[in-house]
Amino acid sequence: MVGITSTHIVYLISIIVIFIFMLLRKDIIFLCILGILAVAMSQTKNILKSVEILYTAIFVSGKELWQVILIISLIIAMSRALDDIGADVVITKPFLRFLNTPSKSFWIIGLMMMLLSFFLWPSPAVGLIGAVLIGPVLKSGFDELSFASLVTIFGFGSALSGDFFIQGVPSVTAKTLGIPTSKLILSSLPVWGVTSLATIIIFYFVTMKKLKNKKNNDKADNNVGKKKIYKESYIISIVSVIFFAVDTFLMYVLKIRGNAATALIGGSAVIILLASSIVQKDFLNKVREYLKSGFLSGIRTFAPIILISAFFFLGELTTAKQVIGPEAKGYLMDLGLYLSKHIPLNKYTVALMQLLVGVLTGLSGSGFSGLPLVGALSKTFAHTLNINSSLLASLGEITCIWVGGGTIIPWSVVPVTAIIKVDPDSIVKRNLFPVIIGLICGYIVTVLLL
């Protein structure tokens, strides 16, 4: 049985205080820093060591997030280069006739984001969608917040919680559960389908209500007429689309996944950036300015996220050991496991436990951190109650991803906010109700099928 120490209690109290301040719409960076110091003091009983841990926590957090910061910065730099030569107008023009109403834009962009996320994963997909289609979407009557929420729901929620093609998510859960990945995927289909469908339908009506009285984005139309379009812009526009289309094809055919897929997108962004700069005057300085602007935007977006994540990364065993040392615990994981040992077991409570563990571990902002735990718990519960372990694990897995993968935790939606300039808290507020209803529906169907 997991032993809950005073440090676990300190970490839990810190989380409660942080979430109270979040509900009050107050900034939480100061509290996260205090939380790191409090956990470090409780664990080490050494002031000097605790100060060192504070720095190490921020360093490890930055290191964990660096690749995301890098790809986002490069995409921003490329987007601004394309924008300056009018290539964005050329690229988006063919989509205008299809993306002419908010309702059409909702389903076209949503399904496109889902499809790309199935094959690329959401972070590279949002870079492609955001860089190429934000113009037509805004002209159709969408606003930036609705667009940002849309790609999180379809990509970081629905597509990633299924992950039927890359299979990174179900393979982690299946490994700890001790069953083939294909069996887990098959079992997850009804829970995934009901959760995704309920969330998307509710989100659709919420979004349409918000946009009901919104006029088309006249500002975007005015800018189009004022932009200078170089004759080379048409060639660069075609090449840019071909580049990313070929990237997508190669990722699927050659099974390029994860970090390698991100690297391919990032490298392509740099090449397109160079091509967009060469056609302009003083292109050597232009390249420097675009990259500087992109990285400044990336760092400006991620600076607070690095500090917030530094605290929540302490909840995951691997990163906690990197920060505090070998004596560290996975504080969030341990609290979830402890809770599971103190609740009466039946199909209703074990399904609820999977839901709560998924929510709790998702608070770290990483949907993956709780997958081994929900797999292990499902195996234990299924053995005790003689119920379907893969179905039970599916609920926990889907909850982990919907909560921590990038829909309702502010520090997990930064890949979207860096591309689409929207406050993360606003995205979370828009997503919260549909996602909660979707997860409740997932819980109900799990209980009915167990």
Q: Would you kindly state where each structural domain of the chain is located, as residue ranges?
A: 65-164+176-450
Read off φ and ψ for residue 178, nearest 5 degrees: 80, 30
Structure tokens at 184: 């887990």
Give residue 149's pLDDT band: very low, low, confident or very high (50, 70, 90): very high
Q: What is the mean pLDDT of residues 369-398?
A: 84
Which pLDDT band holds residue 420 (cuts at 50, 70, 90)? confident
> Given this model, what pLDDT does residue 52 score?
95
Give percent of the chain above pLDDT 70: 92
More confident residue, 222 or 442: 442
Q: Is the pLDDT of residue 217 over 50?
A: no
Q: Assess contact for 122 and 159: CB atoms under 8 A.
A: yes
Please name the amino acid found at residue 93: K
* 187-197 confidence digits (pLDDT tens): 999 999 999 99
- CA distance linking residue 15 with residue 231, whole number of Å: 55
What's the distance, Cα to Cα, between the start and end of the chain in Å? 26
Q: Residue 260 pLDDT > 60, yes or no?
A: yes
d(C-alpha 80, C-alpha 420), whole Å: 13
Over residues 385-410, the pLDDT tens digits come to: 888 889 999 999 999 999 988 899 88
Confidence (pLDDT) at 22: 67
Angle at 133 between CA 418 and CA 221, to 5 degrees: 105
Plot region of 45 (φ>0 → left; ψ -120 to 50 → alpha; else → beta): left
**Residue 379 pLDDT:** 81
pLDDT tier for residue 205 given thresholds of 50, 70 and 90: very high
**Per-residue confidence (pLDDT) for residue 122, from 0 to 100:** 84
**Among 73-87, 154-168, 326-340, 430-444, the range of highest mean pLDDT:** 430-444
Lowest mean pLDDT segment, chosen from 266-270, 278-282, 299-303: 299-303
Distances (CA, A) of 352 to 172, 418, 434: 21, 34, 19
Query: In whole angstroms, what is the distance from residue 207 CA to residue 434 CA?
Result: 10
User: How far, in Å, CA of 306 to CA of 191, rounded?
Assistant: 33
Neighbouring C-beta atoms of residue 341, cutoff 10 Å: 12
Highest-confidence range of 97-106, 192-201, 257-266, 291-300, by mean pLDDT? 192-201
What is the predicted pLDDT for the residue at 175? 80
